[in-house]
Amino acid sequence: MPRLPRDPARDPTPEQLAATLRSTVGTLVRATRSSDRLAAIPATVLDLLDRRGPMTTADLAAGRGVRHQTMAATVRELTDAGYLAAGPHPADARKKILTLTPAGARALAADRRHRVGALAQALATSLDGDERRALARALHLLDRVAAALTPDGSTPDGSTSDGRAPTERPRHPRPKATRPRIAAP
């Protein structure tokens, strides 16, 4: 894998920077997820409903880029765990609208707090003040890179790098997901 040049005066190539960024971000994500209370797929579903509001199973599947049947299994598990509630769709009686329950919101908030706490502890112990300020200045650059990777220019939080609201979330094909495990409430 290409690594960044040791000489800070030399600009890294986009390929070197991309390979190092992918590896570093992957390691960071895996390290923070290793202590999560919720499995990754259920946590993502709860997060989508929290950020975007009530959705159908089809909307969730499109938002995650998975098959409807795969999402239906995850929705069923989250509903059985008491994290989601299904209600009637206002415009189509054949559909159900999914919402977070208070238990689902608490589970998601606890998972986020735990992950943020772990990251904050790592930042406090591994970086000095100047390094934390440098990292803070670089975060907007990462948002711009994330926006460049989505067809509508949106970042993971749903905003866009130019401040506009995206009109439609992209559908990214993902490999077939396995049935997730859900932690007890």
Model pLDDT for residues 38-68, shown as the tens digit of each residue: 888 899 999 999 999 999 999 999 988 899 9
Residue 69 reports pLDDT greater than 90: yes
CATH architecture of 14-148: Orthogonal Bundle (1.10)
Say which DSSP state 93 is in.
T
pLDDT of residue 171: 39
Query: Under a CB-based contact definition with an 8 Å cutoff, are residues 158 and 166 in contact?
Result: yes
Model pLDDT for residues 83-136, shown as the tens digit of each residue: 999 999 888 888 899 999 999 999 999 999 998 999 999 999 999 999 999 999
- Exposed e or buried b per residue across 14-40, where buried means at least 16 C-beta atoms within 10 angstroms of its C-beta: eebeebeeeeeeeeeeeebeeebebbe
- Check residues 70 and 154 and name the one with the higher pLDDT: 70
Cα dihedral 130→143→125→134 (10° resolution): -10
Nearest to residue 104, comparing CAs of 80, 88, 87? 80
CA distances from 29 to 26, 49, 99, 116 (A): 5, 21, 26, 12
C-beta pairs of 109-117 under 8 Å, 24+ apart in sequence: 110/37, 111/36, 111/37, 111/38, 111/43, 114/35, 114/36, 114/37, 115/32, 115/33, 115/35, 115/36
Model pLDDT for residues 143-171, shown as the tens digit of each residue: 999 999 887 766 555 554 444 444 444 33
